[in-house]
Structure 1
């Protein structure tokens, strides 16, 4: 069934589109994270940006293969707070990972296909692993979330 690009609540395609939107925001947000870090500390931000870009591109291809219109990226995004330090950068990275995790949990709730469910579990786990590192860098305790995305 083709989707006209609108987020039709309660469907796997709508949930996948929510993740595309979250991944767009994460890719953009990691630019701000990296910019606030010293050059020798940008590796994790660059790796996270690539991971989110790859996930987004896989989702776009999946949606297009279904005849659905993927959520478009916005021209820019509003940061939830000013990013003026390394701690701010790590805190923003946590927010980005938690936002993506919440979207992946919605996919788990709406997934009709086992392959989509497996993709969601894998990406949710990867987002939490990245978030653990960023929580530690931000000085947050605990560094783990027993139920990421909820």
Structure 2
């Protein structure tokens, strides 16, 4: 994938779709290990990402593309043996989704830009809830991590 600076709306929408596929997978893992007190939160996030994923499939088609398919499985950024790791994973998933939505905000206009901005905001809020704190510029902090070698664009840390 490119760095997002010159991506058009279709390429940025495809990247967001790939990240949503990975987030849905990641929440399947996190939701199974998160503590009972936060299970409803994980379930709500899972459903939110499924809805965004489904909307992006339509968006990609509307933009003239063939939607990127989900992988059968995704490599997680770290082992998730317990509830604490599941919470960390959920925050990472949201950060990574926020990253690709910041690219889509930059590449799109009109209603697609508004939708991407809404998705970025929602991901930032969920990440802050999972982490217990926010970041100053959601979507940009993840870009800095990507430059340091983190594969932030790939959603749940897949190597496509």
TM-score, normalised to structure 2's length? 0.81
Cα distance, 1:35 vs structure 2: 1.1
Cα distance, 1:68 vs structure 2: 1.0
1:2-41 superposed matches below 5 A: 10-41=7-38
Among candidates 108, 111, 116, match of residue 115 of structure 1? 111
Q: CA RMSD in A?
A: 1.7
Among candidates 81, 87, 90, match of residue 87 of structure 2? 90
> Gapped runs of 5+ residues in structure 2?
141-160
Provide the aligned length of Structure 1 versus Structure 2: 138
In structure 2, what is the equivalent of residue 149 of structure 1? 139
Residue deviations 1:66-120, cap 9 Å, x none?
3311111001000111101211011000110011000001111211x21111011
Work out whether 1:80 is the aligned partner of 2:77.
Answer: yes
Work out whether 1:50 is the aligned partner of 2:82.
Answer: no
Q: Which has the higher contact order (CA 8 A, sep 6+)?
A: 2
SS in 1 for 2:29: helix
Q: Could you say which structure has the larger radius of gyration?
A: 1
> Gapped runs of 5+ residues in structure 1?
1-5, 137-142
SS in 2 for 1:68: coil
Aligned equivalents of 1:90, 1:105: Cα separation in 2:
23
SS in 2 for 1:42: helix
Among candidates 122, 125, 147, match of residue 129 of structure 1? 125
